Amino acid sequence: MSYTKEQVTTRKFDVVIVGAGGSGMRASLQLARAGLNVAVLSKVFPTRSHTVAAQGGVGASLGNMSEDNWHYHFYDTIKGSDWLGDQDAIEFMCREAPKVVYDLEHMGMPFDRNADGTIYQRPFGGHTANYGEKPVQRACAAADRTGHAMLHTLYQQNVQAKTTFFVEWMALDLVRDDQGDVVGVTALEMETGELYVLHAKTVMLATGGAGRIFGASTNAFINTGDGLGMAARSGIPLQDMEFWQFHPTGVAGAGVLLTEGCRGEGAILLNSNGERFMERYAPTLKDLAPRDFVSRSMDQEIKEGRGCGPNKDYILLKLDHLGAETIHKRLPSVYEIGVNFANVDITKEPIPVVPTIHYQMGGIPTNINGQVVMPTEGDYNVPVNGLYAVGECSCVSVHGANRLGTNSLLDLLVFGKAAGNHIIEFTKNTSHKDLPANAADASLERLNRLDNAGGGEYSQTVANDIRSAMQAHAGVFRTQASMDEGVVKIAALRERAKGIGLQDNSKVFNTARIEALEVENLIEVAQATMVSAAARKECRGAHTVLDYEHPADHPTAPLGRDDANWMKHTLWHSADNSLSYKPVRMQPLTVESVPPKVRTF
Ligand SMILES: Cc1cc2nc3c(=O)[nH]c(=O)nc-3n(C[C@H](O)[C@H](O)[C@H](O)COP(=O)(O)OP(=O)(O)OC[C@H]3O[C@@H](n4cnc5c(N)ncnc54)[C@H](O)[C@@H]3O)c2cc1C
């Protein structure tokens, strides 16, 4: 055995946060400023977390450039979510939005400015004024590097507040005691390959998205859903995992994202006839309809033979009419991506794009304080003591079945801060609970299984097969037959994942070990997605199943949503690969509920 119990070192903190993206660092800042002893773990240097890649902006109804207020934002988010978002959480987020953006401004975030000194805001998909009447300028932006500016601002503030960072550490498993309370995590230090138990009063998962379960993704390679895997393995269900967002404009063939900010600045999508086809699908918002709408419309054009290029398999994004000056000022990274990944000068010619996996709407269920919640008899939302989740790995749920662009960076800030504040209250009156004697056993078992399976399968072969299966069976358009097939394939891949082995058991910077451990998280997320999707017998938001009909009185609306039977959240349980459901919270905190209606734009 390469790993033994005796070699495991224990360290103690008030709070351990797994993840140094925007959500983890917004929370850690709150905690460190309050004087708590907080450790933040990250697989990569903090400012390399995927938040750094966010381009377009963070949504807040500041009303700097066109009339706006949080009620419009609230309405847009509910309609965008296809009525699967919880209205209390959505109200909380939209009301808090201006405050958290101003917080960032005061920390020194270099937003673009208007002539009067206020923050520059651009239009974004699905964000409207006056309840759907026309696009509104709500996305607060720092050129097309908003996430970069945000993450660096948060990192610098954390350094000042004396947050402890554990860089190139990979958390493996949650430690729960016999009452089910979370009392720490196990983690591998990549440099030495040693295993640690980090003992804490509170653990927070902020591990970001899992876009790497798909073959073509805008996500960073580290986005393997580790927090979701950790939660699932320790008995916590995953919520609404059937809902995955395809971003309309990934560079064809490369997957790299071109921000929706392009269309916010006025870019348009064209088919092979040179037609601005979104005018047909969404007469009011056109190219700025929500992402599920635009992605479906693009795939429809391709399916009907109006795709561009020799194989008619992509759509063109046209920007040259914006003028070189605007492009270089507002979209400098998009210009560079065009040159580097498509050999296209976007100031002169259109760029080939296809819908590409981008964001998971589902995740670890939480309440608006960031506390992870589980169903128990009679109550759907009982907090798990000692465990919080924020950011893309969590599901609060503000995005429901389809997220609006800019609402994720907002979600990180609002719920990162709120969870931080809640933990401060919680830890004030608590001391550390004892670690159970078997704290590291599950992780030791995983590590030794890999080390001992010398002749086992190579992890990346299994990972690639998971990605191909997800790509084939959980795409923009799904069918019941294809999803059912996907469920069988993923179950077989789960068995294969058990047989992964390492050729080289050395400890120092053994990246093969890290990748193999990541595959155990990928498979949890993939199975949650496939099984939840195959069970949902309707279309809603990003979950589009071709077996259903358009609503009789709305032939241009999305295929059939079934509110009577399916306006409910899915919960997937890893232990027995089963599903349960819980109601959507339709009651906002202070205003009236927005009742469901047909979704047209
Ligand atoms: C290309 C791109 C552009 C985007 N643009 C926008 C935009 O303009 N506006 C918007 O609102 N949203 C945007 N999004 C979405 C948004 O950026 C993400 O949802 C958000 O940044 C995720 O933040 P996070 O804090 O949850 O996680 P991340 O920023 O992904 O950070 C995850 C952290 O967890 C760590 N981690 C993961 N697993 C482990 C482990 N096992 N052990 C230790 N550490 C671990 C990682 O090292 C990292 O530090 C974009 C996304 C992409 C991919």
526: in domain: yes
Spatial separation of the C-alpha atoms in residues 437 and 459, rounded to whole Å: 31
Q: What is the per-residue pLDDT across 375-418, written as a single tens digit (0 to 9) for each? A: 998 899 999 999 999 999 999 999 999 999 999 999 999 999 99
How many A from CA of 264 to the centre of ligand 1?
A: 22
361 lines ligand 1 (CB under 6 A): no
DSSP 195-240: EEEEEEEEEEE-----GGGSSSBSS-TT-S-HHHHHHHHTT--EES
Q: What is the per-residue pLDDT across 347-373, written as a single tens digit (0 to 9) for each? A: 999 999 999 999 999 999 999 999 999
**240 and 262 fall within a common domain:** no
The pLDDT value recorded for residue 453 is 87
| Boundary-marking domain end, from 399, 428, 457 | 428
Sorted by sequence, the CB contacts under 8 Å of residue 240 that are 6+ apart come out as 84, 361, 362, 363, 395, 397, 400, 401, 532, 569, 570
Block residue for tokens 């309370």: 181
Inform me whether the pLDDT recorded for 125 exceeds 70: yes
Substitution site in 49, 101, 394, 402 for ligand 1 pocket (most atoms within 8 Å of beta carbon): 49
**231 and 254 fall within a common domain:** no
How many A from CA of 54 to the centre of ligand 1?
A: 8
**53 and 108 fall within a common domain:** yes
The pLDDT value recorded for residue 319 is 97
Inform me whether the pLDDT recorded for 435 exceeds 90: yes
Q: How far is CA 58 from CA 264, 488, 511, in A?
A: 13, 39, 34
| Boundary-marking domain end, from 324, 356, 388 | 356
Spatial separation of the C-alpha atoms in residues 328 and 336, rounded to whole Å: 10
| Boundary-marking domain end, from 428, 450, 482 | 428
- At 549 the three-state DSSP class reads coil
Spatial separation of the C-alpha atoms in residues 294 and 287, rounded to whole Å: 7
Q: How many domains does the chain have?
A: 3
Cis, bond preceding 397 (omega within 30 deg of 0): yes
595: in domain: no
587: in domain: no
Angle (CA) 18 57 59, round 5°: 90
592: in domain: no
**400 and 487 fall within a common domain:** no
How many A from CA of 166 to the centre of ligand 1?
A: 17
Predicted confidence band at 220 (pLDDT cuts at 50, 70, 90)? very high
138: in domain: yes
- Tally of CB atoms within 10 A around 131: 11
Instruction: Specify the residue with its C-alpha closest to ligand 1, atom 1.
Output: 53
Spatial separation of the C-alpha atoms in residues 450 and 498, rounded to whole Å: 9
**125 and 261 fall within a common domain:** no
Per-residue pLDDT averaged across 465-492, rounded?
A: 97
Question: What's the CATH code of the domain at 65?
Answer: 3.50.50.60
374: in domain: yes
**364 and 334 fall within a common domain:** no
**402 and 500 fall within a common domain:** no
**396 and 471 fall within a common domain:** no
How many A from CA of 49 to the centre of ligand 1?
A: 6
38: in domain: yes
207 lines ligand 1 (CB under 6 A): yes
How many A from CA of 217 to the centre of ligand 1?
A: 13
Sorted by sequence, the CB contacts under 8 Å of residue 211 that are 6+ apart come out as 217, 218, 219, 223, 357, 358, 359, 360
**57 and 206 fall within a common domain:** yes
The domain in which residue 207 lies consists of 9-244+360-428
77 lines ligand 1 (CB under 6 A): no
Substitution site in 23, 29, 43, 50 for ligand 1 pocket (most atoms within 8 Å of beta carbon): 50
* Ligand 1 atom nearest 256 alpha carbon: 1
Spatial separation of the C-alpha atoms in residues 136 and 130, rounded to whole Å: 9
Substitution site in 40, 409, 415, 514 for ligand 1 pocket (most atoms within 8 Å of beta carbon): 409
List, in sequence order, every beta strand (DSSP E) within 361-430. 364-365, 371-376, 379-389, 394-395
How many A from CA of 253 to the centre of ligand 1?
A: 22
Q: What is the per-residue pLDDT across 236-290, written as a single tens digit (0 to 9) for each? A: 999 999 999 999 999 999 999 999 999 999 999 999 999 999 999 999 999 999 9
**375 and 482 fall within a common domain:** no
Question: Residues 381, 371: contact at Cβ < 8 Å?
Answer: no
Whether the CA torsion 533, 538, 540, 544 is positive or negative: it is positive
**296 and 373 fall within a common domain:** no
51 lines ligand 1 (CB under 6 A): yes
Predicted confidence band at 139 (pLDDT cuts at 50, 70, 90)? very high
Predicted confidence band at 429 (pLDDT cuts at 50, 70, 90)? confident
Residue 428, token pair as written in the block: 């004030």
The number of residues in the chain equals 601
Inform me whether the pLDDT recorded for 137 exceeds 90: yes
Q: What average pLDDT does the structure give for the chain?
A: 96
526 lines ligand 1 (CB under 6 A): no
Inform me whether the pLDDT recorded for 1 exceeds 90: no
Question: What's the CATH code of the domain at 280?
Answer: 3.90.700.10
Report DSSP state, residue 308.
Answer: B
218 lines ligand 1 (CB under 6 A): yes
291 is catalytic: yes
CA gyration radius, the chain: 23
Query: pTM, whole model, 2 decimals?
Result: 0.97
87: in domain: yes
List, in sequence order, every beta strand (DSSP E) within 276-378. 315-318, 351-360, 364-365, 371-376
**329 and 366 fall within a common domain:** no
Residue from 95, 122, 212, 291 carrying the catalytic annotation:
291
